[in-house]
Every structure is written in structure tokens, then in C-alpha cells.
């Protein structure tokens, strides 16, 4: 039993990856990644080896959380898009289905307008996959977490 946890199976994971790959190509981005609102990295596409994706995921989630706090202080539900402009690289961060965070890093080969347009289309596909994730949420999988034993847990510390 794993209710209350975010569980990603092969099919939906591959679905996320394929949406990100298409977004990467269509938006001429350097790297695209998908994060949950708690800062866990779900999927990536592009030149990820140049980036510390774990830290990026955590800070993107922190960024969305902080701006969400600001939004509620002025009576807004959320700021669903953030854009950070750098000297070389830019970052477009958007909230998908109120649960996921889609981050696109791009340089002068692309533009914020193009990224915004492509992100909108990708968000529709990501939402569809997220609904499939939710539909499978109750399913148990062979060799899953529910089979963990105390000895397994203890083995982590030996």
C-alpha cells in the first residue's frame, strides 16, 4: 500500500520523457526538466550533464513555493509562470496542473515567446499523463515498496 505517495510507472515516465524531448526540440531549448512541487526531479531532456539537476529541482520548487506565497498575499491564486533572464541563459518556469513544475533553460537560439508557446502545448500533454498517473495510484506493483522488511531498512545503514 502506498497511498498518499507520488508513484510513477514505466509508461507514464516514458510519456513524460517523450513530451519533454519534443518540447526541447520544438522550443530550441538547452535543457528541459519536470519537477514535482516538493522538489523531486521527475524527468529531464537535453544537456543535463552541464547542470546540477537535483539542486535545480529543489530551488525551482522553492522558487514556485515562495512566489506562490507572494501571490496569495496579494489575493492571487498563484503566479503560474516565472521567467528569469540571464546574460547567457534564461529560465522559464511554469506550473502544470497545479502540481508539476516545468523548467525550460534556453539561450539566444530561442526566445521567451517561442518557449511560452511550446510550453503551453506540452502542458496539455503533461496534464493528460498526470491523469493516467492518478488513475493508477491505487495499483500495486510486484516487487514494490510494500514488500520492504525491517531487515531491508536496516541494511541501508550497514
Partner 1 sequence: MSFINYSSREINCKIVYYGPGLCGKTTNLQYIYRRMNPESRGRMISLATETERTLFFDFLPLSLGEIRGFKTRFHLYTVPGQVFYDASRRLILRGVDGVVFCADSQLTRMDSNVESMENLRINLREQGYDADRIPMVLQYNKRDLNPVASVAELHSLLNYRNGPEFEAVAPTGVGVFETLKAVIKLILIDLKKGKR
Footprint on this chain of partner 1 (rule: CB under 8 A): 1-10, 13-14, 36-40, 42, 52, 54-55, 58-59, 62, 65-66, 68-69, 141, 143-148, 150, 152-157
Minimum distance from residue 88 beta carbon to partner 1 (Å): 21
CB of 13 to partner 1, least distance (A): 4
**Rounded to an integer, what distance in angstroms lies between the CA atom of residue 152 and that of residue 27?**
44
| C-beta of 108 vs 148, nearer to partner 1 | 148
Classified as helix, coil or strand, 102 is strand
Of 113 and 143, the one with the shorter C-beta distance to partner 1 is: 143
Work out whether the CA dihedral 91, 92, 96, 99 comes out positive or negative.
positive
Q: Which helix (H) or strand (E) holds 69?
A: helix 53-73
Amino acid at each position: 500500500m502506498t497511498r498518499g505517495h507520488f508513484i510513477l510507472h514505466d509508461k507514464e515516465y516514458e510519456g513524460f520523457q517523450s513530451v519533454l524531448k519534443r518540447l526541447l526540440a520544438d522550443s530550441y531549448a538547452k535543457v528541459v526538466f519536470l519537477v514535482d512541487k516538493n522538489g523531486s526531479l521527475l524527468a529531464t531532456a537535453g544537456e543535463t550533464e552541464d547542470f546540477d539537476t537535483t539542486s535545480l529541482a529543489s530551488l525551482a520548487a522553492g522558487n514556485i513555493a515562495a512566489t506562490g506565497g507572494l501571490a496569495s498575499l496579494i489575493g492571487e491564486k498563484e503566479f503560474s509562470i516565472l521567467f528569469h533572464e540571464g546574460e547567457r541563459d534564461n529560465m522559464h518556469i511554469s506550473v502544470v496542473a497545479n502540481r508539476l513544475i516545468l523548467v525550460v533553460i534556453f539561450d539566444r537560439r530561442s526566445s521567451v515567446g517561442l518557449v511560452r508557446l511550446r510550453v503551453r502545448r506540452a502542458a496539455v500533454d503533461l496534464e493528460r499523463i498526470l491523469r493516467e498517473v492518478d488513475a493508477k495510484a491505487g495499483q500495486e506493483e510486484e516487487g514494490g515498496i510494500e514488500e520492504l522488511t525491517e531487515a531491508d531498512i536496516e541494511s541501508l545503514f550497514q
